[in-house]
Structure 1
C-alpha cells in the first residue's frame, strides 16, 4: 500500500512514517518507481511504535528492543523482553525522580507566591 493508505490505517502522518524509516524503526518495501510500499505488518509495527512513543520512551530504546518484540521469532525473545522491561523500568524510575524534583520545586514556588501575596505590594 502507498504511504497515504498506511498513514490512514495507522493514524500516523506520512511525515512521521518517513521519520520512523529514517530512524530505522520501519523498513517499508519499494516499488519499481521508488515509491514506498507498506504492508500490513509494517502498519502493525507502526501502531506498536506509536504506543511506545506515546508512553514517553525514547526512540533509541524502542529501536533497540523493537526487533525482538515484533519479529515473531522465538529465538531470544524472552531475553529481549526482559532487557527491554528492565530498561523501561529504569526509564520510569528516572522519570519518577524528575517528577519528584519538579513537585518539590512547584511546592517551593507555591509557598513563595503565597507568602508574597500575604505581604502585599
Structure 2
C-alpha cells in the first residue's frame, strides 16, 4: 500500500509517517517509481509506534526497543540483546516517567486539597 492508504488506515498523517521513517522507526520498501510501499503489517506497526509515542516514550527509546516488541503489550528482549546503552536509556526513561508521576501526584493532591477547602467553606446547596 502507498503512504496515503497507510495514513487512512492508521489515522496518522503522511507527514508523521515520513517523520517515523526519518527517525528510523518505519522502513518502507521503495517501488521502481520511488514511492514508498508498505505491507499490511505496517498498519499494526504504526499503531504500535503511535501508542508508544502517546505514552510519552521518546523516538530514541522506541527505536531501541521496537525490534523486540511482538505486540503493544509484550516485550521480548533477550538478555543478551540488551546493550549497556539500551539499558541506560531505559533506566533514564524510567526515572523520567517516575518524575512525571510524582509531579502529577503532587498536582492531584493540591487540586484535591483546594476542592476540599473551597467546598467546606461553602454552605450546602438547598434542594
TM-score normalized by the length of structure 2: 0.65
Where 2:25 maps in the other structure, the secondary structure is coil
Q: Aligned in 2, Cα 1:70/1:86: closer, same or farther, shift over 3 Å?
A: farther
Q: Aligned in 2, Cα 1:23/1:90: closer, same or farther, shift over 3 Å?
A: same
Structure 1 CA distance for aligned equivalents of residues 54 and 11 of structure 2:
13
Structure 2 CA distance for aligned equivalents of residues 41 and 77 of structure 1:
20
5 Å matches for 1:1-80? Answer: 1-70=1-70, 77-79=77-79
Structure 2 CA distance for aligned equivalents of residues 91 and 40 of structure 1:
34
Whether the aligned pair in 2 keeps the contact of 1:3 and 1:37 (CA below 8 Å) is yes
Structure 1 CA distance for aligned equivalents of residues 17 and 59 of structure 2:
13
1:61 offset after TM fit, Å? 1.0
Gaps of 5+ in 2: 119-127
Q: How large is the RMSD of aligned CA atoms in angstroms?
A: 3.3
Structure 2 CA distance for aligned equivalents of residues 65 and 40 of structure 1:
21
Gaps of 5+ in 1: 115-121
